[in-house]
Structure 1
Amino acid sequence: MAGKILISGGSGLIGTRLSEMLIDQGYEVAHLSRDPDKFSHYKTFRWDIQNSSIDENAITYADYIIHLAGAGLAEEKWTKERKREILRSRVDSTQLLLDGLRQHEHHVKGFVSASAIGIYGNSGDQLMSEESSYGEDFMAEVCKAWEAAVWQIKDLGIRTVILRTGIALSDKGGALPQMARPVKLMAGAPLGSGKQYMSWIHIDDLCRLYIRAIEDTTFAGVYNAVAPHPVTNQEFTEALAEAMHKPLVLPKVPSFALNLMLGEMSDVVLSGQRVSANKVLQTGFTFEYNYLDEALESFYKKHQN
């Protein structure tokens, strides 16, 4: 049932892997980009979020839209400007796609958008399901605004799925290489109390879930995109050291030191979410990587003799 998939944020960590996997499964893939003239393996349509312009051919091309666009969280300190950009890049890009779908004849059968488990705020040990209450911090506010924008697409009669993504594990970028660097230098340590939960997902499972959300028309609404077994930050750090065959020598990195280094962004590292994968499991989706040690091994065993 292959078709044409339009991806926003296609050159990011998840978009890159997802594009490869879609092509492998016989789909045609196109990306939205600010500068489509750049060399790309994919058909590329121009859009400019700041100037609210999008090539209408992008909308008429697509059978399905996967919406991953948004300014990176970990790339810069969270100044006032950067926080505005983190929010606006998500909300305005969604609005642009919505306007395109409203204004042009199209044959889009499904719209799958990213969101994040940050919507639950710092929820401690409590297991959060899709129905759980939202947090109040900056990331929760961003996710609420983002999802509210996405829901308007459902009002156009298009099947709409939101995947609230946990920490996507990949050795090509994102959180894992940043956490692995100090471990590699034998300076790894749990962060803050170490008790905060990390709900993670292997990037390949995440991409398989996006593909499933396209192909399985019973998918609609919100799903937590996390593996079934979240771990604490301390457990994560220990498992990572083990996978890399490195000892953990340091005590915990105190919260105040992280605050000095990261400013408000440290909230993301220090606040935890323990998130349930039950709703996804009930759809019959099977994870290739249920446990953290399996996921880490997939990245680190190939580097060892």
Structure 2
Amino acid sequence: MAGKILITGGTGLIGTRLSEMLIDLGYEVAHLSRSSAKKSKYKTFRWDIEKDYIEEAALTYTDYIINLAGASVADGKWTDKRKQEIRDSRIKGTNLLINQLQKVPHHVKGFISSSAVGIYGNSGERLVAEESSYAENDFLAEVCRDWEKSAQQATNLSIRTVIYRIGIVLSKEGGALPQLAKPIKYLVGAPLGSGQQYISWIHLDDLCRLFIAAIEDHQFHGVYNAVAPHPVTNEEFTHNLAEILHKPLTGLKVPAFGLKLVLGEMSIAVLGGSRVSANKVLQTGFTFEYNYLNEALEAFYVNEV
């Protein structure tokens, strides 16, 4: 038997696809969920972050934990309440897992947690790698830093720990791509702000393959950037997507002040960006199916136009 995998955030964009791919490879998959999810095709254990509760059987069941849970950063304006929810869903959830692993007899061999390239903030043209400094006075960067600190505690329990700083995940099923494609399809597509901010992206299937590699290849430990090898600017991304969809662009740019009015502080995440290196992952011998943006976009849209 390939092993038993417990996934937090298993019904999200990444968790859904990862669960399917793991099952196809012969793994058993269970989800950790706030509800009992009677209709789920996966074994489901309950947890409640606010009440500091995890069903004990979840941790005695599993060989590997994949920690994807976290409230979406893209849903609605960043009010103080929303920012607290974004933070707590990641850090409190991770702390709860670690605390319970200290208390419950288990046979967990690996703890694989998500983080985000937002930890680098708006790094401009500079290519950033895992050892690069974190952004200061940046909400998302601070959340990622504390999230990673929480996950690193698993190493104190002699559990191999892998943390992926995930870029913009490309999928037609959700996330950023459908939102970026929609205005182009309606012939109002345009780069955002200056258009020069970098998008460090990764195809959903490559990201899931990276999580599977972290289970199967024990050389993986520590922090890795989960991004494709060739980041692009927002302007390049917009032009590539319009070309694949055979749609013209307006020739204008969406002004930064307009985005700030609509999105508030969340506009920082759209108008900023980081050019993130994939070298550390490549040095493990991992090969991406989608190295270049055109390859990824064609995989999604080639039959649509």
Q: So what's the TM-score if we normalise by structure 2?
A: 0.99
Q: Does 1:220 align with 2:182?
A: no
Q: Which amino acid aligns with 2:26?
A: G
Q: Who is 2:48 aligned against?
A: 48
Alignment of 1:179-258 (within 5 A): 179-258=180-259
Distance 1:53 1:172 in 2: 31
1:17-166 mapped onto 2 (5 Å cutoff):
17-136=17-136, 137-166=138-167
**Cα separation, 2, equivalents of 1:249 and 1:196:** 19
Output the CA distance in 1 between the equivalents of 2:95 and 2:26: 29
Q: In the alignment, what sits opposite 1:281?
A: 282
SS at match of 2:45: strand
**Cα distance, 1:76 vs structure 2:** 1.7
- State the identity %: 68
How far, CA to CA, are the matches of 1:87 and 1:64 in structure 2?
A: 24
Aligned-residue offset at 1:47:
0.3
Is the contact made by 1:187 and 1:250 (CA closer than 8 Å) also made in structure 2? no
Q: Distance in 2 between matches of 1:132 and 1:75?
A: 29
- For 2:304, the equivalent position in structure 1 comes to 303
Residue-by-residue CA offset, 1:221-277 (whole Å, 9 max, x unaligned): 000000000000000000010111111124010100000111111100100100000
**What is the TM-score when the length of structure 1 is the normalising length?**
0.99
CA contact (8 A) 1:168 1:203 kept: yes
Asked if 2 retains the 8 angstrom alpha-carbon contact of 1:164 and 1:225, the reply is: yes
Displacement of 1:302: 2.3
- Contact 1:171–1:299 under 8 Å retained in 2: yes
Structure 1 portions without partners, runs of 5+: none
Question: Aligned with 2:179: secondary structure?
Answer: helix
1:255-266 to structure 2, matched below 5 A, reads 255-266=256-267
Structure 2: how far apart are the matches of 1:76 and 1:46?
27
Aligned with 1:144: secondary structure? helix
Contact 1:63 1:108 in 2 (8 A): yes
Which amino acid letter does the alignment assign opposite residue 281 of structure 2?
A: V
RMSD of aligned alpha carbons: 0.7
* Distance (Å, rounded) in 1 between the aligned partners of 2:108 and 2:23: 19
Runs of 4+ aligned residues of structure 1 deviating over 2 Å after TM superposition are none
Q: Which amino acid aligns with 1:151?
A: Q
User: How far off is 1:118 after superposition?
Assistant: 0.3
Cα separation, 2, equivalents of 1:243 and 1:68: 31
Residue identity in the other structure for 2:57: N
CA distance in 2, matches of 1:250, 1:39: 47
**Partner amino acid for 1:210?**
F
Aligned mates of 1:73, 1:101 — CA distance in 2: 28
How many residues align? The count is 304
Distance 1:36 1:230 in 2: 40
